[in-house]
Chain A
Amino acid sequence: GAGVSQSPRYKVAKRGQDVALRCDPISGHVSLFWYQQALGQGPEFLTYFQNEAQLDKSGLPSDRFFAERPEGSVSTLKIQRTQQEDSAVYLCASSLLQPREQYFGPGTRLTVT
């Protein structure tokens, strides 16, 4: 079956622009996670959804970051007024059960110029 997909794969934004990153989880996966991965580092947790409910957003670095999953499937991570420090790969992962393994998408590489 299809894995986790993310779009766009690459995004270049000018500082101050808003961006929206999309994640399509594996069909039927209840849990969805967003992570931020800086170059050469391990991913860091941003936020977690169970169905449409955002149960943990403790990793969002500022109020410029916002995530939603309105129908419990597709999720969007929005970054407002992008800054250079937002440049990273944003990974989405989904899971059928917690705290079992998560299946990752290919990521969106965001470059803020």
Chain B
Amino acid sequence: AQTVTQSQPEMSVQEAETVTLSCTYDTSESDYYLFWYKQPPSRQMILVIRQEAYKQQNATENRFSVNFQKAAKSFSLKISDSQLGDAAMYFCVRSGNTGKLIFGQGTTLQVKP
């Protein structure tokens, strides 16, 4: 089965500190996209960051950056200078065939003031 695994059901971080969320995935495709999506308690799913598998350079988006290790099929998310508004469930996601998204189980991030 082509799956996405997030081994950390819950994480917490102190405000202004840095936290890293882990993700591994499985795929037989050579070209695909990886994403981190955020889902706050209001449930609107929001894109945080995107990585194209053919690009070696790690994507960054303001305080958010990824560590993409293609050979290891690893895709972690680092959040720097954590803010209270970062509290949410974070999903690691891989694009599948026909463009459908395959989600991990999610990591609930708590930010402590």
Contact = CB atoms under 8 A, between A and B. Distances in A.
Interface residues of A, number: 27
Contact of A107 (B43, B50, B103): B43
B11 to A, nearest CB: 15
B99 A31 contact: yes
A75 interface: no
Interface of B: 4, 32-33, 35, 37, 42-47, 50, 91, 95-96, 98-106
Given A99-B32, A101-B35, A106 B43 contact: yes
Contact of B44 (A41, A100, A104): A104
A104 B46 CA distance: 7
A55 interface: yes
Contacts of A41: 105-106
A106 B41 CA distance: 11
Contacts of B95: 99
B45 A91 contact: yes
Nearest to A101: B47
Interface of A: 31, 33, 35, 40-45, 48, 55-56, 59, 89, 91, 93, 95, 98-107
Given A45-B100, A106-B43, A107-B43, A100 B106 contact: no
A42 B104 contact: yes
A3 to B, nearest CB: 8
Nearest to A34: B100
A42 B100 contact: no
Given A42-B105, A95-B99, A101-B33, 6 more contacts: A40-B106, A41-B105, A42-B103, A43-B45, A55-B98, A104-B45
